[in-house]
Amino acid sequence: MTLERLGFHTDPKRMLPNFYIFQALTASKQLLGEDGFKSVINRATSILPEMEKYHDENNWPPANTDLEIKAIYYSTIFRAIEEAGGGRAQLVDIGIKTAQIGFESLGPAMKTSLLVLKKLPGFRWRAGAVLKAVADDLMDVFPGDRELEAILFQQDDDKGVWRFTDRTGDSCWGRTGQKKPVCHVYRGGLIGAVQLATGYTTSVKEVMCMACDDPACVFEIDFEPIGKAKDLKSGS
């Protein structure tokens, strides 16, 4: 399948739901601590002066689906964590934490899926159901994304993976020319969703990234788990 770039990744008018940045800020502060979070927002402010307001939690948006956040704010948080010294594993753990926060206020597709997950046999069926629900809920947030196939969820039996394709590029908005994929928080979110639904961890790899000038961010999730989830962290 040939993937075409949608143009959202560099669109200065791209707006995201409030809960995106609420979850990112909440997870970052919980895992980095007060001093670590302060350093990240200081770094973010040096990249984008408007980010200074996020030092104060009173300025954080509510955790709703209103499209009121500039995409650049969202990607700047993750860039700032990298530049403040955060490693890949730390970013993945922040992503896992955002999944946990998200499960506390589930969308309708997720709620329905979790009701049936307990009745499904085995890891593969549970993991596949929850990943499909993640894709459905993400598309429901943005008017028109389903028609554009902005997010695709596919099963590759020959390779033994699910393929999660995101053509919005929201988590790495505006970033280009990178040599390696940078969407570690997104990857952690997928790991976290699987962990929360199954109690197990599986390998998730970002094989294409819009920050590397690819037409989409593409993640491959293994059919088989690599072990039981431990405290909802990546372990690597």
Choice among 53-62, 110-119, 190-199 with the minimum mean pLDDT: 110-119
| Whether residue 128 is found in the same domain as residue 178 | yes
Asked if the model's pLDDT at residue 120 lies above 80, the reply is no
pTM surpassing 0.95?
Answer: no
State mean pLDDT over 58-73.
95
Transcribe 103-166 into DSSP letters. HTT--HHHHHHHHHHTTS-HHHHHHHHHHHHHHHHHHHHSTTHHHHT-EEEEEETTTTEEEEEE
pLDDT for the residue 106: 61
Transcribe the chain into DSSP letters. ------SGGG-TT-EEEHHHHHHHHHHHHHHHHHHHHHHHHHHHHHH-GGGGGGGSGGGSPPSS--EEEEHHHHHHHHHHHHHTT--HHHHHHHHHHHHHHHHTT--HHHHHHHHHHTTS-HHHHHHHHHHHHHHHHHHHHSTTHHHHT-EEEEEETTTTEEEEEESS-GGGTT----SS---HHHHHHHHHHHHHHHSEEEEEEEEE-GGGT-SSEEEEEEEEEEEE-BTTB---
Look up the domain containing 113 and give its range. Answer: 101-228
Judge whether 118 lies within some domain.
yes
- Compute the mean pLDDT over every residue in the chain, rounded to the nearest whole number: 89
Judge whether 34 lies within some domain.
yes
Contact 8, 49 (CB under 8 A): no
pLDDT for the residue 122: 84
Q: CA 178 to CA 219: how far, in whole Å?
A: 17
Q: Please give the backbone phi and psi of residue 79, each rounded to the nearest 5 degrees, phi first.
A: -60, -40
Q: CA 182 to CA 214: how far, in whole Å?
A: 12
| Whether residue 70 is found in the same domain as residue 123 | no
Total domains in the fold of the chain: 2
CA distances 143 to 68, 139, 150, 153, Å, are 14, 8, 11, 18
Question: Largest alpha-carbon pair distance within the chain?
Answer: 50
Q: CA 41 to CA 133: how far, in whole Å?
A: 32
| Whether residue 125 is found in the same domain as residue 222 | yes
- Domain boundary (58, 88, 118) is at 88
State mean pLDDT over 195-221.
94
Higher pLDDT, 144 or 119: 144
Q: Please give the backbone phi and psi of residue 63, each rounded to the nearest 5 degrees, phi first.
A: -85, 65
pLDDT for the residue 117: 66
pLDDT for the residue 235: 42
pLDDT for the residue 162: 97
| Whether residue 81 is found in the same domain as residue 23 | yes
Asked if the model's pLDDT at residue 113 lies above 70, the reply is no
| Whether residue 157 is found in the same domain as residue 212 | yes
Higher pLDDT, 123 or 1: 123
| Whether residue 118 is found in the same domain as residue 203 | yes
| Whether residue 46 is found in the same domain as residue 157 | no
Asked if the model's pLDDT at residue 116 lies above 90, the reply is no
**Strands 151-156, 200-208: pairing kind:** unpaired
- Domain boundary (23, 57, 88) is at 88
- The string of pLDDT tens digits covering residues 161-202 is 999 999 999 999 999 999 999 999 999 999 999 998 888 899
